[in-house]
Amino acid sequence: MLLNPTDFDRSFEFYNRTLGLYIFREWGRGATRGAAFFLGGGYLELSGRAPAPVDGNVGLWLQVRDVDDEHERLAAAGVDVVEPPVDKPWGLREARVRDPDGLLLVLVQVPDDHPLRRDTRG
């Protein structure tokens, strides 16, 4: 996933320090600075600059171990909470927050007995 933040330094601090994502690599300086963070089986890359914040049609789904703990931690850090943790009809526990540019982040906890945790290979 590639994000072009409106303010690289602000977004870097949010994803690295506030969310706690680990850095895979960093490159460049000033306007060419970029960073990639480990994100499960993939990476979240911050690079370039966007002239305006993202629209509401894009979101990032992040699986966490304990959505209640993450919500509490992020709310205490001043992160914009859109929806506190709630059990959804599809069996997941989710909370919604926004990054500094307004990108919706859906924090998801998959219960141990949920079908997403089952081995479907037979």
**Tens digits of residue pLDDT in 33-62:** 999 999 888 888 989 888 877 776 778 999
Asked if 1 contacts 44 with a C-beta cutoff of 8 angstroms, the reply is yes
What does CATH list as the number for 53-122?
3.30.720.110
Q: Which CATH class is domain 1-51?
A: alpha beta
Domain boundaries, the chain: 1-51, 53-122
**pTM, rounded to two decimals:** 0.81
The answer to whether residue 81 scores a pLDDT higher than 60 is yes
3-state secondary structure of 61: strand
Asked if 45 contacts 93 with a C-beta cutoff of 8 angstroms, the reply is no
| Max Cα-Cα span within the chain | 51
**Tens digits of residue pLDDT in 7-29:** 999 999 999 999 999 999 999 99
Determine the pLDDT at residue 120: 58
How far is it, in rounded angstroms, from Cα 115 to Cα 104?
25
